[in-house]
Amino acid sequence: MIILTIIIFILILGLLVFVHELGHFVMAKRAGMEVEEFGFGFPPRLFGFKKGGTVYSLNWIPLGGFVKIVGEDGSDSDNPRSFGNKRFGSRFMVLVAGVTMNFILAWVLISLGLGLGLPTVIGDPAELSDSAKVREVHVSVVEIASDSPADQAGLRVGDSVLAINGEEIDTLEETAILAKNNAGLETLYTIKRGGEEFDRTLIPREDHPEDEGPIGVTVSTVARVAYPWYETLPRGLVATFNLLLSILSAFGVIISRLFAGQGVGADLAGPVGIAVLTRDVAQLGFIYLVQFTAVLSVNLAIINAIPFPALDGGRILFLIIEKVRGKKMRAKIEQVANTVGFVLLLLLMVLVTVKDFGRFDIIERVKNLFI
């Protein structure tokens, strides 16, 4: 499983970063800027060829891509095709293109999912559009409380509850009643995860936090909901925009926690956490991976839009300051700011990765990558 997880993780990360850099590349070419290299992966270089003044390279480290635009660091001030010598609008469009491409990728993926049948939490099926095709309706775990019986038994978000003590489950009410009636007793839960069915024994709690329930899960009715091809793009756009708002709201909560001195909780994951999530999602099936990749793409767009040095948002901020001042900022100032910002981002990644290993039994879950 470890090899498959690594391959899927690299493919997803590579796709997200490559599409982002492709946006910068296309807009730079359209603006008449001189692009030295457009690479897939990171050096050392495997091979490359030159066309139209640009080297197109394939590199050994398959984690995305990069674009080298002449003058993007403030140098080559005499070159009319350098980044710094183009008008404000052209430079702005180049910088914002990466974020835009990540949003478009999420839109395409969600639209694809809506055509194939996207896992969707549903209430009353009658509330869905007449054109919606609903199948595989089931009771699914959408949230698990830490250290709860469900968590200790190894249940995961996305698992379907098929039966409790051999009694088939069709509704949320049945799940709640059977959990309550078996409080304090060993109870056999039949679970489906992706294409695999298995049993887990756990003991529902008689005394439990009010917002957790006897076994510590939140369940919802989930179904695969598909739409005709001509509806997928407009519906996908609305869904992507709603996803954007939801993630922005989550970032707002994280920031408010930081200012309140409460830490970020479980809302922030680093590369290790995302790798573990990739394994979990891959076990649920292809369509869940499509949905997961769309979520990551919107996250990447939002993070890059933050006005912090070394990120696209930071470079856009410098560009706007330059426009307001009416004169170019000294290249050295921007270079130093971006270098410091890059170092701080690396430190943040290290801290988040360390945090990943200290929560949610992640060390044990990383070991399970090898199973």
DSSP secondary structure code for residue 145 in this structure: -
- The dihedral built from the CA positions of residue 221, 224, 228 and 233, taken in this order, carries a sign that is positive
**Residue 57's CB: how many other CB atoms inside 10 A?**
20
**Dist CA 200 CA 155 (whole Å):** 8
Locus of tokens 């395409």: 108
For 76: left if phi > 0, alpha if psi spans -120 to 50, otherwise beta; the answer is left
The per-residue b/e assignment along 270-306, b for 16 or more CB within 10 angstroms, e otherwise, is bebbbbbbbbbbbbbeeebbbbbbbbbbbbbbbbbbe
Q: Round to whole Å and give the CA distance between 334 and 290.
A: 37
Angle between helices 88-116 and 2-30 (to 10 degrees): 140
Examine residue 125 and say whether the peptide bond preceding it is cis (omega within 30 degrees of 0).
no
The vertex-57 CA angle with 54 and 59, nearest 5°, equals 155
Catalytic residues: 21
Residue 352: both structure tokens together: 């988040």
- Gap between the Cα atoms of 304 and 296, Å rounded: 12
What are the structure tokens assigned to 341, written together? 């910002």
Residue 58 near residue 13, CB atoms below 8 Å: no
